[in-house]
Structure 1
Amino acid sequence: MAQPRIGPLCGFNFQWMFIKGDDGKPIEADLRALDFMAKHDLRFVRIPTDYRFWTKDFDYFHPDEAVFEVLDRHLAACRERGLHMSLNLHRAPGYCINRNDLERHNLWLDIEAQDAFAFLWEGFAKRYRGIPAGDLSFDLVNEPPNVGQYGMTRENHAAVIRRTVAAIRSVDPERPIVIDGLGGGHYAMAELADLGVTHSCRGYQPMPVSHHRATWWDGHANAPYPAYPGVIWEGEVWDADTLREFYRPWREVEAQGVEVHVGEFGCFNQTPNADALRWLSDLFFLWREFGWGWAMWNFEGAFGIIGHGREGARFETMDGYEVDADLWHLMRR
């Protein structure tokens, strides 16, 4: 079945349910940031979450209801402003692209994690049944690994996704569902083109440009200087044409009737400003041509549009925020 489409909505990721506040609890919605988004017609709010906020000692099936009430407030704040919230499991039972070693089970191999994953999403479907499709989508698992990593194959990944989509639709058949590309969100999933869900790609390639000196990225130490265009990475000289070719498999899936959205992108603040802007300009140009929406990682901070601290950037005051003026222009033109 085909679900309602999310549309080419644009916005930001917010880590309110992924990074703990000073009190060790989830962070309440930043209403000022949401007001800014609503004012400027940026209507996509992606909320990456960590299941450990509501789970103790891997007891997946007895979540802390009080934490879900914080999510309820996040959703209410978005709906009050006409914003779409996309609820994402960034750390799911048995898998996270960051520190996967912290997991007890394996989402791709262990029935315990697969049962927990389906249980969580079926529970969210029950909780939010009746919320209009235009207000809320479910982004099942952030950035699955490369094929062969942690035992994941295209076949067992597809089995987990199909089972979970069926569980959600048994409760709420109209809920928009999003699935992230493989290999950290980069690789398209033609084998799931028939599922009737939105496919979410990424805007991080070439990695030496987006993640220059990002010490948590395994490849940072030996990555070339992030000159763009012209950086050589994975056997390619990267420019606008290379980016277009990189997205070709996604366009081929889209041609089968699949909606594509860019769930994350951004440029770490150590990349020289001129190179960052040239690269981002090419991305925005392509996505506008394709008709794709996007969500920057994130609003404030080293990858964001506010307070990123990149040397040479030009900032202007907007609604009380110091906004990267040139990046803002690229976003809005």
Structure 2
Amino acid sequence: MKILFSVFLLVSSLLLSGQTREKAFEINAQLGRGINFGNMFEAPSETAWGNPWKPEYPKIIADLGFNHVRIPVRWEPEERSAATEPFTITPEFLNRIKEVVDSCLNTGLYAIINMHHHEELFENPDGQKERFLTQWKQISEYFADYPDSLLFEILNEPHGNLDATKWNTFFADALSTIREDNPDRVVLIGTAEYGGLGGLSKLELHDDDNIIVTVHYYNPFSFTHQGAEWSNGTDAWLGTEWTDTETEREIVQDEFAPLKAWEQQKNIPVHVGEFGSYSKADMDSRERWTTYIARFIESQGWSWTYWEFSAGFGIYNPDDDSYNNRLIDALLNNEMSEPAVYVGTAIYSSQFDQTINDWSLSTNNGAGATLIQSSGNLAVDITTAGSEGWHIQLAKNNVALEAGKKYRLTFKAKSVDDRTATSYVGMNVSPWSSYSGYSGFSLTDTFRVYSTVFDMTTTDNYARIVFDLGTNASDITIEYITLESVEIQFPTSVESVKILKSKIYPNPTYNQLFIDNQDDFQQLQLKTIDGQTIQQTQLANHLNEITVDKLSSGIYFVTLSNQVLQQTFKIIKK
């Protein structure tokens, strides 16, 4: 399986690369599947977070079937490097990292070393730039004679005062420094704004053939970081599940779609350097999420590194020498299964062709924008951007939510120019907390549908739907917004998933739907998004046809059933 996966990635990448970045695509294919040595060398000291590196780890990882290891390194502490010129990294620490790299390469693993948690650089980029570049010069010289199976990653998750504009200059200067001693080594470059997909549009690449772009993915954050002790407010998310529904998968696909388009436009290989879910989440959800994310990344022809090996997200417990085999299978062995589906009842459904009066727009800190009704849509005409998302905030108040229910927010939107924004459902009073988590999304000049699903643990009859739009001056148009209470419908069993052969097509559709009934279904129900049955008919075996040309455009659900089985399809009427 390991060999087949590498071949698949290599072929996919070479098709994209043409005559440029061929080596980078090839190395990315060899990276394949990897894991992070997290909470080890990026801690203030190797033992500070209770997870010291052990020499046997690389062999364990290689034997499991991984292809590479990412080694996050904090170079800043005074025991490791000088804070003043010439910013010397101690020989002892360089030798320690060399020991780890050598151990990985000697077991046949590729290795990535980076700069990680350099807080002084994020707080004072200009004041720390010389130290940043000087340290990379030392690292580059020290490992200059190493084979191509060692890669450099310039900096983990740039953020704070090291904003996107400044980051474009800093990584270019660091890359030039590295090229003095490593002219052909493959180097990974991450995005600003904590390394996520939201910073992608602001990344300005330079003319270098041997680079790979890397991003991190932890969405939905309210699931992956529930109960995380280092992040305030995450206990409120405890119990959040990821149920592997069509909607949840579509959210992942939509969030990664700009990266795929960017990859093809820029002709550059892509690596997902971190993804993972914390151990406070239930194991069923962790296995489902990890399986889907790993298989989805691979389906795009990208390499990945799971976060992490032996701590709170990990697959191995060093205390009792035990393995989380369900996570290992999710990463390396599980195939992508059939998704579950949501069936929804509308709590709110916009009617922008009639009114926009139930929505309000607030501007703060010098930002400027106007809310208008345009061609049956809601439009936000932005004259002046702010520095924070909430500086331009679109909201609908007085939305009633009940504890113990699951909800789905769906909207269709576009922007004049490519931009990012954030949506959430949350409190309408201080502290204005989010119930749904904060979902970043990327807009283009074409309408796309975006969704997020969340669980309510408390009742709030006066909640609000919010869009934070303030960080960009590109105008936004929204065609519709719906909020539904949803119930999940799992595949009846593993066996039923395998044997169900019925299909509905075309989807999306304009006039007719064809139902190829291969499972002896007896009845069809066609329902609106709010659960209202608008058509019910008996089914014959094999081909059936229903006319839908009179239906309004939107989302509908078709349920096929007999006395034993039931299957629901989501369809889109154009």
Q: TM-score, normalised by structure 1?
A: 0.81
**Which of 262, 265, 277 is the equivalent residue of 1:253?**
262
Report the alpha carbon displacement of residue 225 of structure 1 after superposing the two structures with TM. Answer: 4.6
Report the alpha carbon displacement of residue 290 of structure 1 after superposing the two structures with TM. Answer: 1.0
Q: Which is higher, the Rg of structure 1 or of structure 2?
A: 2
Report the alpha carbon displacement of residue 113 of structure 1 after superposing the two structures with TM. Answer: 1.0
* Pairs within 5 Å for 1:167-246: 167-187=177-197, 188-190=199-201, 191-196=203-208, 197-223=211-237, 225-229=239-243, 239-246=248-255
SS in 1 for 2:177: helix
Distance (whole Å) between structure 1 residues aligned to residue 293 and residue 257 of structure 2: 14
Distance verdict in 2 for CA 1:238–1:220, change over 3 Å? farther
Partner of 1:326: 326
* Pairs within 5 Å for 1:1-333: 2=21, 4-5=23-24, 6-8=27-29, 9=31, 10-14=33-37, 15-19=39-43, 20-22=45-47, 29-51=53-75, 52=77, 53-57=79-83, 61-92=87-118, 94-95=120-121, 106-107=124-125, 110=126, 112-133=127-148, 135-145=149-159, 150-187=160-197, 188-190=199-201, 191-196=203-208, 197-223=211-237, 225-229=239-243, 239-255=248-264, 256-307=266-317, 321-333=321-333
Distance (whole Å) between structure 1 residues aligned to residue 94 and residue 51 of structure 2: 12
For residue 253 of structure 1, what is the amino acid of its counterpart? W
- How many residues of Structure 1 are paired with residues of Structure 2 in the alignment? 301
Higher strand proportion (structure 1 or 2):
2
Distance (whole Å) between structure 2 residues aligned to residue 56 and residue 308 of structure 1: 32
Greater mean alpha carbon deviation, residues 287-296 or residues 54-63: 54-63
Partner of 1:317: none
**Is contact 2:136–2:178 with CA below 8 Å preserved after alignment?**
yes
Greater mean alpha carbon deviation, residues 294-303 or residues 178-187: 178-187
Distance verdict in 2 for CA 1:63–1:328, change over 3 Å? closer
Report the alpha carbon displacement of residue 299 of structure 1 after superposing the two structures with TM. Answer: 0.8
**Is contact 1:4–1:175 with CA below 8 Å preserved after alignment?**
no
Distance (whole Å) between structure 1 residues aligned to residue 120 and residue 279 of structure 2: 31
User: Which runs of no fewer than 5 residues in structure 1 stay unpaired?
Assistant: 97-104, 232-236, 310-319
Report the alpha carbon displacement of residue 29 of structure 1 after superposing the two structures with TM. Answer: 4.8
Greater mean alpha carbon deviation, residues 179-188 or residues 198-207: 179-188
Report the alpha carbon displacement of residue 163 of structure 1 after superposing the two structures with TM. Answer: 0.9
Give CA deviations for 1:159-179 in whole Å, capped at 9, x if unaligned: 111111111112211111112
Report the alpha carbon displacement of residue 300 of structure 1 after superposing the two structures with TM. Answer: 1.2
Distance (whole Å) between structure 2 residues aligned to residue 61 and residue 93 of structure 1: 16
Instruction: Report percent identity of matched pairs.
Output: 19
Report the alpha carbon displacement of residue 204 of structure 1 after superposing the two structures with TM. Answer: 0.8
Partner of 1:102: none
SS in 1 for 2:273: strand
SS in 1 for 2:69: strand
Q: TM-score, normalised by structure 2?
A: 0.48
SS in 2 for 1:49: coil
Higher helix proportion (structure 1 or 2):
1
Give CA deviations for 1:252-303 in whole Å, capped at 9, x if unaligned: 2211211111111111111111222222222022112012222122111220
**Is contact 1:254–1:260 with CA below 8 Å preserved after alignment?**
yes
RMSD of aligned Cα (Å): 2.9
For residue 252 of structure 2, what is the amino acid of its counterpart? L
SS in 2 for 1:94: helix
Distance (whole Å) between structure 2 residues aligned to residue 29 and residue 278 of structure 1: 29
**Is contact 1:93–1:117 with CA below 8 Å preserved after alignment?**
no
SS in 1 for 2:140: helix
For residue 134 of structure 2, what is the amino acid of its counterpart? F
Distance verdict in 2 for CA 1:254–1:162, change over 3 Å? same
Distance verdict in 2 for CA 1:120–1:56, change over 3 Å? closer
**Is contact 2:71–2:113 with CA below 8 Å preserved after alignment?**
yes
